[in-house]
A and B are shown apart, each in its own frame.
Chain A
Amino acid sequence: MTDRPRLAVIGAGPAGLAATVAAAAHGVRVTLIDAAAQAGGQFYRQPAAALRAGRPQALHHDWRTWQRLRRALDAHVRAGAVAHLTDHHVWFVERESGESGRFTVHALLGPEEADAVAVGADAVLLATGGYEKVLPFPCWTLPGVVTAGGAQAMLKGTLVVPGRTAVVAGTGPLLLPVAAGLAAAGVQVAALVESAAPRAFLRRTRALAAQPGKVAEGAGYAAQLLRHRVRTLARHTVVEAHGIDRLEAVTVAALDGEGRVRVGTERRIPCDTLAVGHGMLPHTDLAGTLGCRLDGLRVHVDDEQRTDVPGVWAAGEATGIGGSALALAEGHIAGRSAAARLTGSTPDPQEWAAAAKSRTGLREFAAAIESVYAPPAHWSEQVTDDTVVCRCEEVTAGTVREAVAQLGAGDLRTVKLLTRAGMGWCQGRICAPGVAGLAGCELTAARRPFARPVPLGVLAEDHPQPTSRAHTHPTDGGPS
């Protein structure tokens, strides 16, 4: 055991991997902690090893970058500089009181998430990624309606598809690869329904021109869609899903210039799957509990990707949605900065000038994307009073509207207190954007002390001793 400082990186997606590799290459020991069985995060989600996929790249974009990261990670693990803890579901990061400045990362083990382990570290790097935002519409709770990212995750991770005929709908750059992936995997994609207008892209030519790679990526997906004869309905939206106990069809309609449904343009498309998404949201629970400042919905970081809490860095989607390339740049910078500061030197930004330049361009691109891909301005008008908005607690749009109109609720927390919307299993992660839209209030970051549900038996037990180096699952951490 050496005295080299230890950095805990939480999340093994592009940001976490880039950070791990960068930090390990510059003199710190890294504990990479991730909930999945394999590194990759959502973007580079790998098929389960037991499926023995010989051609996983068929489901991925930019496979070479992944191979480079994977090889670098493997080399550092072999050299003992990185401990990669898989199947570790982090529920709390605790900053030790007093002057030590050390951290304890608390995780639940394995897919059952019943037993606990604690990992000690001198600093923490949050690469917790993001999740999909979905706005409600009538009957969106029917089985067969899945998030676009969910359909993709199931495809990449377990090589299954949700049905035979799919509509891919919503807004955002994720819809293209999802539609292309489903089509390649044998699903008949009946339509790609995008509420944004293609012409809006042309107005953003400067940000686009600066990212030729991104343009080529988009063109590649478009060509695939053409090959699979997928029709794209731009400035259209799904207004309703149909079915009794599972999805049978969706109604789509054209949007006018104001973002309202054009009466008379509704048409029904039979399908057994609707993959729907309206963009992404950052995971900020761990940062919030550590007391890190949030800017709106994202973790605030400085040029070195440091949060305002000493010893805590953040990178990737948690600090603002921007895609995998931006996550890689941010992760690299965060890893370099953390390594320098943990080894007692002042980091020299010149050493990561290329990554910083790339970060600047990609953030501009992300801002352009965000301004182009917007849900229809008047989406909430399509949400009937009997539509369930909070899926966990089965709170309807009518109940939310009543809390606002009759009981004086004017913010997300008060709506939650008066309706239970957001009090269930997912803790409002899914319904918050929809509830905020219906209530006409701002979407604000919730305080979630537990990043995931934790058994009271685990909470009740005395601290499992923090371990600095746990290469395998410890057997002494769980409750008996």
Chain B
Amino acid sequence: MSSPLELAGARPGPAFTVTFDGREIEALPGQTVAAALWAAGITSWRTTRGTGRPRGVFCGIGVCFDCLVTVNGRPGQRACLLPLQPGDAIRTQEGTGHDD
């Protein structure tokens, strides 16, 4: 059993902590929001504004806007594109993300 990090011979720097809905998760330097959430076993971080259904990564390259997420209070960011910084606060984006 291989992991993608092993496969690519990655030697990232030490992991740092970010939060997802208040809960601490670990992220590696260079990881996007989506990558860190996937690595933590989290696959959805948005609910739709019509029916409140969960969504996460779909296209993975910034085209579909399904992975929109609120980071450090700013809504509507694409999790698949946005790299994480230590201490970032990721929040599930509900509806338009502008509701509060």
Binding site for B on A (CB under 8 A): 35, 37, 42, 47-56, 58-59, 111-112, 131-132, 141, 143-147, 149-155, 157-163, 184-186, 245-246, 391-394, 424-426, 429-430
Within 8 A of A (CB), among B12-69: 12-13, 28-32, 34-35, 38-39, 43-44, 48-51, 53-66, 68
A-B pairs with lowest CB-CB distance, top 5: A150-B60, A48-B30, A50-B30, A54-B9, A55-B9
Given contacts A50-B12, A154-B38, is CB(A159)–CB(B4) below 8 Å?
yes
Check A141 against B55 for contact (C-beta < 8 Å): yes
Partner of A48, one of B57, B68, B83: B83
Beta-carbon nearest neighbor of B57 in chain A: A146
The answer to whether A394 touches B50 (Cβ under 8 A) is yes
Q: Which residues on B sit within 8 Å (CB–CB) of A426? A: 63-66
What is the total number of residues of chain B having a CB less than 8 Å from a CB of chain A?
48
Indicate if the CB atoms of B8 and A159 lie closer than 8 Å: yes
Beyond the given A146-B58, A154-B57, A163-B43, please list 8 additional residue pairs across the A-B interface where CB-CB is below 8 A: A47-B10, A52-B10, A112-B77, A143-B56, A150-B57, A159-B10, A159-B35, A186-B7
Bound together, the chains give a CA A159 to CA B63 distance in angstroms of 20
> What are 14 sample pairs from A and B whose C-beta atoms fall under 8 A apart?
A35-B81, A47-B10, A48-B30, A48-B32, A53-B10, A111-B77, A141-B55, A147-B59, A150-B60, A159-B10, A160-B38, A391-B55, A394-B49, A394-B51
Q: Are A149 and B30 in contact (CB under 8 A)?
A: no
Cα-based distance from A51 to B77 in the complex (angstroms): 22
In the complex, which of the residues A50, A144, A150 contacts B59, with contact meaning CB atoms closer than 8 Å?
A: A150
A47-B8 in contact (CB<8A): yes
Contact yes or no, B13 A430, CB < 8 A: no
Partner of A54, one of B8, B55, B68, B80: B8
Question: CA separation between A268 and B50, bound complex, in Å?
Answer: 30
Select from chain B the residue with minimum beta-carbon distance to A50: B30
Cα-based distance from A111 to B74 in the complex (angstroms): 13
Q: Is the CB of B60 within 8 A of A154?
A: yes
- The CA of A163 and the CA of B5, in the complex, are separated in Å by 14
CB distance from B64 to the nearest CB of A (A): 5
Tell whether A53 pairs with B8 under 8 Å between CB atoms, given A131-B61, A430-B64. Answer: yes
- Complex: how many Å from CA A160 to CA B68? 19
| Chain B nearest CB, measured from A220 CB (Å) | 16
* B59, A131: Cβ atoms closer than 8 Å: yes
Cα of A84 to Cα of B26 in the assembled complex, Å: 32
A160 lies within 8 A of B63 (CB): no
With A and B bound together, what is the CA distance between A163 and B68 in angstroms? 20
Interface of B is mostly: loop
Contact present for B29 and A51 (CB under 8 Å):
yes
Quick one: which of A154, A393, A394, A429 contacts B64, CB cutoff 8 A? A429
Contact B39 A391 (CB under 8 A): no
CB distance from A379 to the nearest CB of B (A): 18
- CB nearest neighbor in A for B41: A163
Given contacts A154-B38, A184-B7, contact A132 B43 (CB under 8 A): no
Judge whether A153 and B48 touch: CB under 8 Å: no
CA distance A59 to B64 in the complex (A): 24
Partner of A158, one of B32, B56, B59, B66: B32
The listed residue (A51, A52, A54, A245) touching B31 by CB distance below 8 A is A51
Chain A residues with CB below 8 A from B82, complex form: 111-112
- Taken together as a complex, chains A and B put the C-alpha atoms of A145 and B67 apart, in Å, by 12
Point out the residues of chain B lying under 8 angstroms from A430, CB to CB: 58-59, 63-64
Q: How far is the CA of A50 from the CA of B5 in the complex (A)?
A: 12
Pick the residue among A153, A161, A185, A246 that contacts B38 (CB under 8 A): A161
Q: How far is the CA of A449 from the CA of B42 in the complex (A)?
A: 35
Report B51 CB to chain A, min CB distance, Å: 6
A376 CA to B28 CA, complexed, in Å: 41
CB-CB < 8 A to B43: which residues of A?
143-144, 162-163, 246
Given contacts A158-B35, A429-B64, contact A141 B3 (CB under 8 A): no
On whether A185 and B62 interact (CB within 8 A), knowing A111-B83, A150-B57, A246-B43, the answer reads: no
Q: Give the residue of B57, B74, B83 whose beta carbon is less than 8 angstroms from that of A162.
A: B57
- What are the residues of chain A within 8 A of B57 when measuring CB–CB? 143, 146, 150, 154, 162
Complex: chain A residue closest to B63, CB-CB: A131
A158 and B74 within 8 A (CB): no
Closest to B12 in A: A51
Q: Report yes or no: B35 in contact with A160, Cβ–Cβ below 8 A.
A: yes
A58-B7, A160-B38, A184-B2 known; A145+B30 contact, CB < 8 A: no
* Minimum C-beta distance from B71 to chain A (A): 9
Chain B residues with Cβ under 8 A from A155's Cβ? 4
Minimum Cβ distance to chain B for residue A121 (Å): 24
Chain A residues positioned under 8 Å from B31 (CB to CB): 48, 51, 158, 160
Identify B61's interface contact among A111, A143, A150, A161, CB under 8 A.
Answer: A150
Given known A52-B10, A185-B2, A394-B48, contact A153–B61 (CB-CB < 8 A): yes
CB distance from B79 to the nearest CB of A (A): 11
- B68's closest neighbor in chain A, by CB? A425
For residue A151, give the distance in angstroms from its CB to the closest CB of chain B: 7
